[in-house]
Amino acid sequence: MTTIRLRNSKSRKVEEFHPIDPQNVRMYVCGPTVYDRAHLGNARPVLVFDVLYRLLRHVYGEGHVTYVRNFTDVDDKINAEAQRRKAVGDPRTLEELIAERTEETIAWYHADMDALGALRPDHEPRATAFIGQMIAMIGDLIAKGHAYEKEGHVLFRVRSYQNYGALSGRSVDDMIAGARVEVAPFKEDPMDFVLWKPSSDDEPGWDSPWGRGRPGWHIECSAMSYELLGASFDIHGGGIDLQFPHHENEIAQSACAHPEAGFANYWVHNEMLQVEGKKMSKSLGNFFTVRDLLDQGVPGEVIRFVMLGTHYRKPMDWTDRKREEAEATLRKWFSLVGKSEVGRVPNGVIEALGDDLNTAGAITVMHSLRLRGEHEGLRASLEFLGFSVDRMSEWVNSSPTASPVTDEHRDIVAAHVMRRHRARLEKNFELSDTIRDQLLDAGVQLFDKKDAPATWEFLSDFDPAKLEALK
Ligand code: AMP
Ligand code: ZN
């Protein structure tokens, strides 16, 4: 049987993976908060854990892996959007507006992640469907002395859990010194975090022994993983940004509620997708969505290929050049393998993936398969990694074989972008807007940067003649 090795954040080592029960390998991954379209960074964990899911199914059998990824549908950002809609005159109730927002966001999420070729997890629980279980777990933590109620809030007593901080390798005192904690009058200790909080009339709420309120974010994952996977399971995944405090808090809650069990044995964290050295995030405003790229005519497979080109534990940037290279490679590969049989997935590919998900290594193996003319193995590898050859055959045939973009085009755009940058520095916004509009008309979209020249994308309607006319 193929050995899978994974970097376990808990031990900070690459370890051999041994499931608790090979008949039912269990994985939980923290899913999105459903208040808006997924940005490209959000797609990274989806693709990383999709590859791991495929690998586990390959090794242990399709019916022997259970993958759970939740939807966080209780969140102040969702409430804020619903309240905004109400404020601009929407006559519906807040509950209806919240439900609408989460429903539409989940539908977008599915459409976007399907387009990237990600398999749907076996369970996609919504937090709002597990409120009763969260209330029960919180009650249990209070009974065991790990949590307390104050002023309608229930807080987790961090000092009651000895191993707090073990995952991220911090002591409680370091964390307080880091001052990432909120001091509040209802807390015994500034480190304590919220399990339950009261809701005002214009916030969603559920009845509980502590009054009408709603759960904190961390308890959601502890309750849902327990309900769907049990007190001990194999892999817990998510982005490295969630390691502290979210995962640390999940561990504290679950370990205290079920002290006899181990919670997650392997913690796997993906690094961040970045933009100019900073994490892509909604709050920094340096993001674009998966849908933006798909709408520009970038196939989901190309996005997937670019993502898998970097090891999941390395930060990565999305660049136009990577996209072009991925497109060229896939075009070549799909045109070669289109008519071949699907062979066996070559060992080299599986071995690379088994080596802490070395997707870039698997791609290197695929390049060599193509050089040796082993098209059946290449096709099998593509399908295995989630690239649908059938779906792509249309793309390969319909689009031009070579990108119409040349180095000269890039130079022309760069010159206009610099001219526009100077105009902006001189506050000549009229000229700056004209240049932007002319480029867009030629099918080149600019992305403004705060203190630097804009970056750009060639859109699918790029018109070389129009661009050349701007020279
Ligand atoms: P959120 O909805 O922000 O909680 O994020 C959902 C998932 O996306 C989590 O697993 C995050 O760790 C992950 N994530 C958010 N931003 C990025 C990023 N820039 N790069 C990679 N993963 C990210
Ligand atoms: Zn979580």
Average pLDDT over residues 158-181: 82
Ligand 1 atom, smallest distance to 237 CA: 10
pLDDT at residue 182 above 90? no
Whole-number percent of the chain with pLDDT over 90 = 76
Of the bound ligands, which one is closest to the alpha carbon of residue 45?
Answer: 1
Ligand 1 atom, smallest distance to 238 CA: 10
Residue with the smallest CA separation from ligand 1 atom 8 is: 42
Confidence of residue 402 (pLDDT cuts 50, 70, 90): very low
Cα torsion angle, 84, 88, 93, 98, sign = negative
Average pLDDT over residues 156-166: 95
pTM for the structure as a whole = 0.85
What is the model's pLDDT at position 330? 95
Ligand 1 atom, smallest distance to 31 CA: 6
For residue range 318-370, list pLDDT tens digits in order.
999 999 999 999 999 999 998 888 889 999 999 999 999 999 999 999 999 99
- The larger pLDDT score, comparing residue 70 to residue 409, is at 70
**Cα(41) to centroid of ligand 1, in Å?**
6
Among 358, 356, 352, 293, residue whose Cα is nearest residue 326: 293
Helices (H), 61-122: 76-87, 94-115
pLDDT at residue 180 above 70? no
Confidence of residue 439 (pLDDT cuts 50, 70, 90): very high
Q: Calculate helix-pair angle for 389-398, 300-308, nearest 10 degrees.
A: 110
CB atoms within 10 A of CB 387: 24
User: Ligand 1 pocket by C-beta < 6 Å: which residues?
Assistant: 30, 32-33, 41-42, 44-45, 238-239, 241-242, 270, 272-273, 279-281
Mapped onto helix, strand or coil, the DSSP state of residue 28 is strand
What is the model's pLDDT at position 391? 85
Of the bound ligands, which one is closest to the alpha carbon of residue 251?
Answer: 2
**Cα(352) to centroid of ligand 2, in Å?**
28
- The larger pLDDT score, comparing residue 58 to residue 172, is at 58
Ligand 1 atom, smallest distance to 32 CA: 2
Q: Calculate helix-pair angle for 375-384, 347-354, nearest 10 degrees.
A: 30
Residue with the smallest CA separation from ligand 1 atom 9 is: 239
Of the bound ligands, which one is closest to the alpha carbon of residue 37?
Answer: 1
Residue of 36, 42, 69 to mutate, ligand 1, most atoms within 8 A of C-beta? 42
What is the model's pLDDT at position 406? 80
What is the model's pLDDT at position 256? 98
Mean pLDDT of the chain: 93
Residue with the smallest CA separation from ligand 1 atom 18 is: 41
> Would you say 115 and 301 are in contact if contact means Cβ atoms under 8 Å apart?
no
**Cα(432) to centroid of ligand 2, in Å?**
44
Of the bound ligands, which one is closest to the alpha carbon of residue 30?
Answer: 2
> Would you say 315 and 271 are in contact if contact means Cβ atoms under 8 Å apart?
yes
Pick from 24-28, 424-428, 449-453 the range whose average pLDDT is largest: 24-28
Among 375, 371, 400, 384, residue whose Cα is nearest residue 345: 384
**Cα(94) to centroid of ligand 2, in Å?**
26
Whole-number percent of the chain with pLDDT over 70 = 97
What is the model's pLDDT at position 179? 55
> Would you say 257 and 137 are in contact if contact means Cβ atoms under 8 Å apart?
yes
Domains of the chain: 5-270 (3.40.50.620), 320-469 (no CATH)
Among 153, 175, 177, residue whose Cα is nearest residue 164: 175
For residue range 277-308, list pLDDT tens digits in order.
899 999 999 999 999 999 988 999 999 999 99
pLDDT at residue 468 above 80? yes
DSSP result, 258-307: -TTS-EEEEEEEE--EEETTEE--TTTT---BHHHHHHTT--HHHHHHHH
Give the β-pairing of 263-270 and 232-239.
parallel
**Cα(52) to centroid of ligand 2, in Å?**
18
pLDDT at residue 450 above 80? no
Residue with the smallest CA separation from ligand 1 atom 12 is: 239
Residue of 9, 109, 241 to mutate, ligand 1, most atoms within 8 A of C-beta? 241
**Cα(6) to centroid of ligand 2, in Å?**
20
- The larger pLDDT score, comparing residue 119 to residue 449, is at 119
- The larger pLDDT score, comparing residue 346 to residue 184, is at 346
Instruction: Give 99: exposed, middle or buried? Use CB within 10 Å, 0-12, 13-18, 19+.
Output: middle
What is the model's pLDDT at position 94? 87
Confidence of residue 401 (pLDDT cuts 50, 70, 90): very low
Among 136, 134, 20, residue whose Cα is nearest residue 74: 134
Residue with the smallest CA separation from ligand 1 atom 2 is: 32
**Cα(245) to centroid of ligand 2, in Å?**
10
Residue with the smallest CA separation from ligand 1 atom 1 is: 32
**Cα(92) to centroid of ligand 1, in Å?**
31
In the DSSP assignment, the letter for residue 452 is S
**Cα(242) to centroid of ligand 2, in Å?**
8
Ligand 1 atom, smallest distance to 38 CA: 2
Average pLDDT over residues 96-100: 91
**Cα(239) to centroid of ligand 2, in Å?**
10
Please give the C-alpha separations between residue 54 and each of 121, 269, 400, 429, in angstroms, as whole numbers. 11, 17, 32, 50
